Structure 1
């Protein structure tokens, strides 16, 4: 088996475990916090929000730092650090004695993160150009699949085995990812001490700052769009449904629809970007995603919303590999880890920003307004991409 294919398989497995681990813990957090002795409903909600959000905020801060370390010491070393570190920290969450210890461990989890960005940088630098789009598209399905399956698996484990076992099993899976990375990932890496720069100095050496910034913003907007609906989805399903007996199931299916579509389409759209150019796929995906949000505000039953969310997932599947492929083409290998670290930070900020935006807009303007505003943001981003990337910049110049 070719080296890049073996690396892709191992990284896919590791990112799947990481995505599943992060997402399966989220729905269990409120119940686990109650299990730790917090009885007041308002306090449970408050602590749950803090415990969930702190990981992403800290991850956004530390992703560029770990990207710098990846460029200095190699991407494989960062994969080993992150997978082993998360295995230990998440496993320790099962031993937490109070909510403050849990929040502290969640904060520490954000500090040691960086597995996904290191995987992306590794595949981007170790895969030949003609297969890069397909490889990065395939890799993007891993975290989507993990995020899709995580809540269901976490809920099943918590219900049948207990809350603590969710953290123990997640830690064990990440330990398996660590062992697989140590045994099977092979990276051709030569350390270059001259490239050890600060974050500010790193940005100064990025060759195509304007295009890179547009790609960062696109990652932010894309993630924000996905997560803007998450806080209000169950409430919206309740409004649309004529019965309240299956709201939770319908909400889970609706949320999973976009993830399922992305799994199906990401690798194929990545392959298409190799043929026609990632900038074309990116622009089309932004336009479709922006437009498909608008009719979601007018649906009259959950099944219509589910179908539209599936189409949205197809569009999102074209954005992730396109952004990563463009970043690979315009970034020197010596800066790849740091640039992908910045891009990962943009995604983490999008998760946090989307959750906040969706809840606040729904509270003040109504749930349907969330879809209008999110769609408008995606379409504005598409216009920016059209004039600055698609129309005026020839990507071939950066190959």
Structure 2
């Protein structure tokens, strides 16, 4: 087996587990905070929001820092640091004595993160352009699937094994990821940039600044769109089916539908982007995702909603691998880790921003407006991508064909 394919398999498992570790706390957080001695409903809600959001905000700050370290010291050391660090921190959450210790550990988890950035950089730099879309598409399914399935996994562990075991089991899985990374990931790393560059110097070295900014914004909008619905899924499902006793189950299926579709479609759409151009897949995927959000505001039962969420996952699956493929192609190898670090920051901010946006819009205007506003954001982003990326790269390809 080629080294990059073996690394892809190990990285996929590690990214999935890391992503589960970031998101699995969502459904059990209020219960665990109550277990830690907080009994006021208002305080539980307040502490839950802080504990959940803190990890993503801090991760957004530290992702570029770990991306720079990956370019400087190699990607494998960053993988080992992140997987072992997160294993210890998440395992320790099971021993928290009060809510402040839990929040402190969630902040520390955000600082330690960086596994996904290092994995994406490793695979992007080891894979040739012919297979980059497929490889990065396959890898992207780990993050999305872990983020979307994490809450269900956390809820399942809590229901069957108890609150504290959510953290113990997830920590053990991350320790397994650390061991497999140490034993099986192979990297021959030679640092290309010997001199420490300032952020301004790094930015000046990036040849396609406009394209890079557009891709970062697209990554942010995509994750914001996926997570804007998260706070209101259970409430919406209960409104669509007021007489059912299985709201939690239907909400869980709805929540996971996009993740399942993403796992199915992302590698295939990544392969298509290798053939026809990443910019074309990004544009079409944004338009399709934007349009699919509109009917979600008008569904009559949970199964229609689940079907549309699955369709959304199929459309959105083309975005992350194509964005990463395009970034790989326009970024010098010595800066790949740093630029992917900024990409991950945009994603983490999108998760946090989406959760806040969905909750606030639903509270002030109603649930249906969450879908309509998210759709508008995606379609505006599609127009921007068409003007700034699609037309520009298509003209370059035409000029290249005529030479």
Structure 1 residues 323 and 195: alpha-carbon distance in aligned structure 2, compared to 1, 3 A threshold: farther
* Alignment partner, residue 265 of structure 1: 265
Instruction: Deviation per CA, 1:253-308: give whole Å up to 9, x if none.
Output: 11111111101100000011111111111110000000111111111111111111
Instruction: Deviation per CA, 1:339-370: give whole Å up to 9, x if none.
Output: 00000000000011111111111111111111
Question: In the aligned structure 2, how far is the partner of 1:111 from the partner of 1:202?
Answer: 22
* Alignment partner, residue 344 of structure 1: 344
* Alignment partner, residue 355 of structure 1: 355
| 1:187 CA displacement | 1.2
Indicate if the aligned counterparts of 2:193 and 2:334 stay in contact, CA closer than 8 A: no
* Alignment partner, residue 316 of structure 1: 316
Indicate if the aligned counterparts of 2:279 and 2:393 stay in contact, CA closer than 8 A: no
* Alignment partner, residue 173 of structure 2: 173
Question: In the aligned structure 1, how far is the partner of 2:50 from the partner of 2:325?
Answer: 34
Question: In the aligned structure 1, how far is the partner of 2:344 from the partner of 2:367?
Answer: 28
* Alignment partner, residue 60 of structure 2: 60
Instruction: Deviation per CA, 1:85-105: give whole Å up to 9, x if none.
Output: 101111111111100000000
Indicate if the aligned counterparts of 1:68 and 1:196 stay in contact, CA closer than 8 A: no
What secondary structure sits across from 1:261 in the alignment?
A: helix
Question: In the aligned structure 1, how far is the partner of 2:355 from the partner of 2:151?
Answer: 17
Instruction: Map residues 146-225 of structure 1 onto 2, 5 A cutoff.
Output: 146-225=146-225
What secondary structure sits across from 1:258 in the alignment?
A: helix
| 1:199 CA displacement | 2.7
Structure 1's consecutive aligned runs of 4 or more residues displaced over 3 angstroms after TM superposition are 394-398
Question: In the aligned structure 2, how far is the partner of 1:303 from the partner of 1:161?
Answer: 30
Indicate if the aligned counterparts of 1:11 and 1:119 stay in contact, CA closer than 8 A: yes
Question: In the aligned structure 2, how far is the partner of 1:164 from the partner of 1:178?
Answer: 22
- Provide the aligned length of Structure 1 versus Structure 2: 398
Task: Say which is worse superposed, 386-395 or 254-263, in terms of deviation.
Answer: 386-395
Instruction: Map residues 246-261 of structure 1 onto 2, 5 A cutoff.
Output: 246-261=246-261
Instruction: Map residues 1-399 of structure 1 onto 2, 5 A cutoff.
Output: 1-394=1-394
Instruction: Deviation per CA, 1:62-86: give whole Å up to 9, x if none.
Output: 0001111010001111101100110
Indicate if the aligned counterparts of 1:121 and 1:337 stay in contact, CA closer than 8 A: yes
Question: In the aligned structure 1, how far is the partner of 2:88 from the partner of 2:102?
Answer: 13
Question: In the aligned structure 2, how far is the partner of 1:354 from the partner of 1:152?
Answer: 19
Question: In the aligned structure 2, how far is the partner of 1:308 from the partner of 1:93?
Answer: 36
Q: Which blocks of at least 5 consecutive residues in structure 1 are unaligned?
A: none
Indicate if the aligned counterparts of 2:86 and 2:171 stay in contact, CA closer than 8 A: yes
TM-score, normalised on structure 1?
A: 0.97
